[in-house]
Each structure stands twice: as structure tokens, then as C-alpha cells.
A and B are shown apart, each in its own frame.
Chain A
């Protein structure tokens, strides 16, 4: 029976690092979802299906000899187009936020069926050259695939944040999210911006998918395994806030990792989610 074990400094710091890495993936997965929900008022469940589809495509291309990071050159534009197309469809039918949940759930089922048909329900693991390497910083191990994920998550989150804050396009999108008719009146081309944003969100999903392929084993039903925790990170981080999912995801990841390091790992979800509840109840508007 393991109770509370005082961990060594190495164990603790390696665990924190591990939590940061998984939190970065939560953040990267959550980024597109948060932007879509916050700025476009569409809850895109298919975001996860897009990520997994991209992961599988990356896996397939790697089997043909294409470097996973290089496959981004194909995947990013492809998913940008898919995301924009989906948004065009939803805009055309003026789909409300809750209806978008239903629609994208249907889409997720379709994509899952496609994945299962092509790649079967088997577990697939991408063996890449990146998986072979790791760095050592002091006593801490930093595996390369996780590092790539972290770098991408940080880079993309900050890039999106900067665009939203400093560029005209970003401001236009935030304005449209707050008050669409007025923004239009000020000349903001909402249709075009929305398509751009939706495409970007899907492209972000595809990048997250490649990171998934690099670090995790894939199976079609795994699409659903990430929904709960990423939704939590997105909601905690504040909808539409670029840095939100990353910070919230890291919080969740680290709290779970630390719990696993010091006590029975099966208690980890309690700690992270209780922490989340406490944060929400005591500082609801200012979670990040």
C-alpha cells in the first residue's frame, strides 16, 4: 500500500517536466478548440477527429519515408482547407453553438469510421528518428518528441496571441466575436475572417496531430480519450484566449504529474480537477 512518499528532487522535477510536456499537448490540442469556441462561437468536437486524422496521415507518410515534421508541409494546408470548408458549411446554415456540437459530433463519427476502415482498429505507433533521441539537462531527461511538442505549443500560442492582440486582423476577429453587427458596420469582413480563423484552427489541430503521432500510440477510439481533459483546459483557460489552453493545460498536467509522483497515481484526476473546481469557484473570471 503506497501512501505519501517523499520524492527525491530528481523524481519531482522530472515529474513536473513530464507534466509540462503532456500539458503542452493539451494546450496545443486546445488552442484551436478555444479559438473556435471563443471567437467563432462554434464548439468543434471534430477538432479531435481532425487531430487524429492528421496523426494517422503523418504515420502513413512516415511509413513511406516522409519525415513527420516535413509532413506538416502537406498537412497544414490540407487541414486549413478542410477547416474553412466546414466553417463555410456551418455558416451557410447559420448553425448555433449547441447545434455545432451535434454536427461536429456526427462529423467525428464519420472521421472515426474512415480511420478505422483504412487503418483498422489496431494500435499504431509511429517510429520516428525523433523518438530515438533525447537531451539531458543536468539530471533531467528531455525527449525530443516531447520537446518538439512543447516548442510548437509555446510558439503557436504566443504567435496566435500576438496576432490577436497586435494585428488588425486579430483585432477585427476579437471585435467580431464581441459584437458582430457593429464590427461589420465598421467594415470588418467577417465572412473572410471567419473562414481564415476556422482554417487556422483546423491547421492547429493537424499540428497537434503530428505531435500526437510522435509521442503517443494511435487508435481510432482514442479520439474520445482526450475530449474530457482538453475541454477542461479550454474552459479553464477562458474561451478565445490564445494563452489560456496552454496555461490551463500545463496546470492540469503538472498537478496530475506531481500527484503521481508523491502518492497513488490513481488519485491524480482528483487533484487536478479539484484544483480546477477551487480555481473556478474562487476566481471565476480570472482563471489564468
Chain B
């Protein structure tokens, strides 16, 4: 039997099923149990709540169309309270005491690495959605749903600077300001290398502590340095706080970029006009024609609004989360079973159709392509502006 052809057919069938979402037989038999943790309380809960919502939506959808292998899928999720040591313990509970069939990744790099250790010890596949530093992922059977590529610290900044170079006002001087949070710091370090290679002049470099409250002096120094472009290594609130601080001194950088801002708050700030960021998915063509996208976007918006989330649109976090489920489903369906080794082998050799497009996992550390695109706040909304082939309606990078 030509297994790879069968597997590809299997993947195609799965994709078709997801796309059409027609009526299916009720899933029957013993539920397939998938276990994970999320930071439902604690400092990371603001983003983890998105992943909870996405997981719930996915489980509901999949059970409506017949489950996996005809069986219902059950998600056992626990609260790791934003603590990696608790995440590790809970994953061990899921594997050794609760004896779940499959694992799903938790939120954020620290917890993912803890989970990865457990997965490695018990030879379980781990699909995860938010690991920010690919080089740390040394386990053979881990698979990233966040398509950063193998060397995001180089490829992502290159994408960003390509976009800027193709824009109306390619910058010559750059100010780099960043948080010292590990996944941010790592990307910013790469960005600085890229800038050097491209001959850009770094006029300012500042790092601040995670938890810094006062961005006044930093904003002032940026203003003083008068750069063409500001690269802000931001995570969570930082972007907002910095923009606030800049507004307070009447300064608006000509062009600015924020690495991983908290979904939602940034786009609604008037002073975030023309801010750039990166994404793997936005609620616009061509992304919305990817596998499963249209229906998911609709469902997510409904549920997020009902849950009271400030921003009910799907972007990187929600998309990566949903992609992770799609990947796991593809592996299960293609290998017609729950054997971790088989799933792992299949994933490495095949491509999966997801929200983000066709993903592959045969690069270093099982990472595939860098699918990060550049988006910009235009008219109070995120619009994808680069590369050209994923923009819609003639959108392009604006510079004042």
C-alpha cells in the first residue's frame, strides 16, 4: 500500500470535511481524551482565555461532524495558574494518572517547555501553539502551530524590513526598544543583526524590565533620537503604555512596529495609527478562504462577544490555537489511530491544511515555513500589507 498517498488522501478528506461542515453522524463509542493545561488564572490569563475559548469551539465543531475516527472528542483542560512548575506536574497527571489519549500544548513558552519535557519522557506527541523561541524546542515529537519558521529572529525582521523598503518611505535610522522578556528579547536581538546587515543606522537601543510601569523617560529618549522607524519589542501592555507615554509628550514616531502586542487594546488606540505588527492570520481574504477559517471566524466572534472579551476578532493567538487542533486532528485521521509515534512520523512527512495555509514540519526542530505577515493599523483595524500576495483589496503599507 502506498501509505503516503493514502495519508494525503486522508488529509484531503479531513480538510474537505472541515470546509464543508455538513451534517454528520453522531460520534459514538469511548471518547478520545485530549489533555492540556492553560493559564486560566494569573498574569498570563489574559491571553490564555482566548485559547480556552478556541478549544471549546473546536471541540464543539468536531463533535458535530462526527468526532475523530467516529468517536467523540473530549478536552480535559486544567489551570496551571501561570506557573511552569505546576504545568509540568499537571501534564504528568494527565499522562500518568488521568491517562489521556493525546496531549495539546499549554499557553506560553515556559509552560510549553515544561509540557515538552513530560511529553518527551512519555513519548507523546505535543502540538503547541505559542512557543516563541524555536531553538529551545529540542524534542523530536513536538509540532508548532505558530508558523514562525526555524529562524524567526532573522526571517521575521527581514519580512518587516522588506515591507518597509517596498513602502513609500523606507527608513534609514532606527530606534530599537525592547522588553527583556525571553521570547521578545530573542527576536529583537535578531532584528538588530538584520538591521546591521541591511545597512540601517541604529540610533537608540533600550531595554526595559518586564513589569516596568513608567515609560515616560523611554518615550522621551525615542523622541530625542528622532528615528525614522521604531522597533518596539513589546508584549502585553508595553505597546499601549509606550504609545500613551509618547502621546503625552506630543510625539508620534513616523513609522513604528510592535512585536507581540496584546490582542485588542492596541488597535483601538487613536495614536496607534499606522502601527505595524506581525500576524499569521487576520479576518480578511485571502486568509478567510483557508481551511476552516470562515466558519471559525464567525463562531469565534459570537462566542468572544458573549464571553465579554474586548476584541472578538481572530488574530495570531486564536488562529495558532485553532491550527494546533487542526494539526492534531489531521494526524489522528491520517494514521487512523491514536498512536503518538505514528502521528509524529506522519506529521513530519506530510503537509496539513490549516487556517494559516498548508503547513509543513520537516525543518529544523520540526518547524516549517515562516508564515508571519506584516499588518498595519489602518482606520482602526488591522490590515495585512505585506507580502503582496496575501494582501486584499490593494492594501498597502502607509506612511505619513
Whether A and B touch directly in their complex, counting CB atoms under 8 A apart, is answered as: yes
Chain A residues in the interface with B (C-beta under 8 A): 1-2, 5, 7-8, 10-11, 14-15, 17-19, 21-22, 113, 116, 119-125, 134, 141, 143, 146, 216-217, 219-221, 224-225, 253, 256-258, 260-261, 264-266, 268-269
Cβ-neighbour of B214 out of A1, A5, A225, A256 (below 8 A): A256
**Contact at B212–A268, with CB atoms within 8 Å?**
yes
**Contact at B217–A18, with CB atoms within 8 Å?**
yes
A-B contact count (CB 8 A): 123
**Contact at A8–B211, with CB atoms within 8 Å?**
no
Contacts of B166 in A (CB 8 A): none
Residue in A closest to B213 when the chains form the complex, CB atoms: A22
Cβ-neighbour of B224 out of A1, A8, A224, A256 (below 8 A): A8
Segment among B69-77, B200-208, B275-283, B284-292 that sits at the interface with chain A: B200-208
Cβ-neighbour of A269 out of B44, B46, B209, B310 (below 8 A): B209
**Contact at A260–B262, with CB atoms within 8 Å?**
no
Separation of A257 and B217 alpha carbons in the complex (Å): 6
Separation of A159 and B250 alpha carbons in the complex (Å): 34
Given A15-B220, A141-B250, the answer on whether A122 and B264 have CB atoms closer than 8 Å is yes
Contacts of A122 in B (CB 8 A): 46, 49, 264, 308-311
Given A120-B309, A124-B310, the answer on whether A15 and B217 have CB atoms closer than 8 Å is yes
**Contact at A11–B224, with CB atoms within 8 Å?**
yes
**Contact at A219–B308, with CB atoms within 8 Å?**
no
Contacts of A18 in B (CB 8 A): 214, 216-217, 220, 245
- Rank and list the top 6 A-B pairs by shortest CB-CB distance, nearest first: A18-B216, A260-B217, A121-B45, A15-B217, A221-B43, A143-B248
- Closest chain-B Cβ to A68's Cβ sits at a distance in Å of 16
Interface residues of B in 161-213 (CB under 8 A from A): 180, 204-209, 211-213
Asked if B42 lies at the interface with its beta carbon under 8 angstroms from chain A, I say yes
**Contact at B205–A225, with CB atoms within 8 Å?**
no
Cβ-neighbour of A265 out of B46, B217, B269 (below 8 A): B217
Contacts of A1 in B (CB 8 A): 205
Separation of A225 and B42 alpha carbons in the complex (Å): 11
Contacts of B265 in A (CB 8 A): 123, 125, 217
Asked if B249 lies at the interface with its beta carbon under 8 angstroms from chain A, I say yes
- Closest chain-A Cβ to B377's Cβ sits at a distance in Å of 15
Given A14-B249, A120-B309, A221-B43, the answer on whether A266 and B262 have CB atoms closer than 8 Å is no
Separation of A125 and B208 alpha carbons in the complex (Å): 22
Contacts of B248 in A (CB 8 A): 134, 141, 143, 146
Interface residues of B in 113-146 (CB under 8 A from A): none
Separation of A11 and B208 alpha carbons in the complex (Å): 17
Contacts of A7 in B (CB 8 A): 221, 224
Provide the B24-58 mask, 1 if CB < 8 A to any CB of A, else 0.
Answer: 00000000000000000111111011000000000
Segment among B83-91, B236-244, B349-357 that sits at the interface with chain A: B236-244
**Contact at B307–A120, with CB atoms within 8 Å?**
yes
Asked if B338 lies at the interface with its beta carbon under 8 angstroms from chain A, I say no
Given A15-B220, A141-B250, the answer on whether A220 and B45 have CB atoms closer than 8 Å is yes
**9 A-B pairs (CB sep. < 8 Å):** A11-B217, A18-B217, A116-B41, A120-B309, A143-B248, A216-B213, A220-B45, A256-B214, A264-B206
Asked if B12 lies at the interface with its beta carbon under 8 angstroms from chain A, I say no
Other than the known A15-B217, A125-B240, A260-B221, what 7 A-B pairs have Cβ atoms closer than 8 Å? A11-B220, A18-B220, A122-B310, A260-B218, A261-B220, A265-B207, A265-B217
Contacts of B209 in A (CB 8 A): 265-266, 268-269
**Contact at A225–B204, with CB atoms within 8 Å?**
no
Separation of A264 and B217 alpha carbons in the complex (Å): 11
- Closest chain-A Cβ to B319's Cβ sits at a distance in Å of 18
**Contact at A265–B308, with CB atoms within 8 Å?**
no
Contacts of A8 in B (CB 8 A): 224
Contacts of B180 in A (CB 8 A): 266
Contacts of B206 in A (CB 8 A): 2, 264-265
**Contact at A123–B262, with CB atoms within 8 Å?**
yes
Given A123-B264, A269-B209, the answer on whether A14 and B216 have CB atoms closer than 8 Å is yes
Separation of A146 and B249 alpha carbons in the complex (Å): 12
**Contact at A266–B207, with CB atoms within 8 Å?**
yes
Cβ-neighbour of A261 out of B41, B208, B221, B262 (below 8 A): B221
Contacts of B218 in A (CB 8 A): 260, 265
